[in-house]
A = this chain, B = another copy of it.
Amino acid sequence: MATIKDVARLAGVSVSTVSRVINDNGYVNAETRKNVINAMENLGFRPSNIARGLVSGKTYTIGLVIPDISNPFFPDIARGVEDEAIANNYNVILCNSDWKVERETMYLSLLIEKRCEGVVLVGSHSEESDLLKVIGKMPFVSVDREMVHAGHSVWVDNEFGAYTATKHLYEEGYKRVVHISGPPSVRSANARLSGYKKAVREFNYHEPQIIESDFRTSGGYESALKVLEQQGDSRPDAIFAGNDLMAIGVIQACEKIGIKGGVDLGIVGFDGIGSSAYTSPSLTTIFQPGYEMGRRACHLLLDEIVNPGKRRIKEVFNFELLVRASTKWIK
């Protein structure tokens, strides 16, 4: 790969002059500039951003640490982050942490060594103090989790969302709502759990009933089967699933045992993933504006990079209760 020296030699000028042409600063004679540009084209010269980065200290790269890009809640966030990044000439390194603390740590270390200028951390799983230790002075924005001591944060009020979801079920006339929760190690899962409890206590038709699961369709399916095999008064007439994937599992379970979703069993999910609109019955859910959150998080990050340490920003995005067929007695 041709270097700036090769270009200089071919154009018969000094390295400094070539640099001036590349960066379009300082004085360069029109004729000289033409020669240099010619030389660059002939050699297929591309400036090395890594050499540039070494002198400027800027890499124009940020990291995106996200649990799992193939989980349908996350691609929207990723797209938002990337759109905002490229609009500002930054690139994004994609890291799938699989909700594992060690992977998160490993990626963060790598990103630091690569001299990423910052990182968007989605659904981080680590203890905040541990996190801050590895992340050091690298700017970061947390999505889907509030950080207490550092960084900016952007999230949706999971507890209030879950409360709203559960309340909606009672208001639609369902009397006994079970919650299929996500893994307790995931913060948002816990917040949703406590939102559920709050609503249950408020309406006070029954005790909270919780089945712990794993945020996956299969987990939702199996949990629902377990719930629905109960007979008599204790059998619930509605399920609030900790996320849409599990809610889809609940729908599948209904089909399996011949129960009509919506009619015989109210179902609410969480996240508002695209496919929640296409299930049968279509899924009532709490929609989170993933794209906007991603985009905003990246914006805050780039802002922090340019203008560091001024303040810490926390933004709570509004969710939206999308009422669909899975919570309608009739249809």
Give residues in A with beta carbon < 8 Å to B: 1, 44, 46-51, 53-54, 59, 61, 64, 68-72, 74-76, 78-79, 82-83, 86, 91-96, 109-110, 112-115, 136-137, 248, 251-252, 274-275, 278-281, 291
Q: List 12 A-B contacts (CB under 8 A).
A: A1-B137, A50-B50, A50-B115, A51-B54, A54-B54, A69-B79, A69-B82, A72-B75, A79-B96, A82-B95, A91-B114, A92-B93
Interchain CB contact (< 8 A) of A278 among B64, B136, B252: B252
Chain B residues closer than 8 Å to A71, beta-carbon distance: 75
Bound CA span A295–B65, Å: 19
| Pairwise interchain contact B114-A50, C-beta atoms closer than 8 A | yes
Chain B residues closer than 8 Å to A110, beta-carbon distance: 91
Knowing A69-B79, A278-B275 are in contact, say whether A49-B114 is a contact too (CB < 8 A). yes
Tell me the smallest distance from the CB of A136 to a CB of chain B, in Å: 6
Chain B residues closer than 8 Å to A54, beta-carbon distance: 48, 50-51, 54
Tell me the smallest distance from the CB of A264 to a CB of chain B, in Å: 16
| Pairwise interchain contact A48-B113, C-beta atoms closer than 8 A | yes
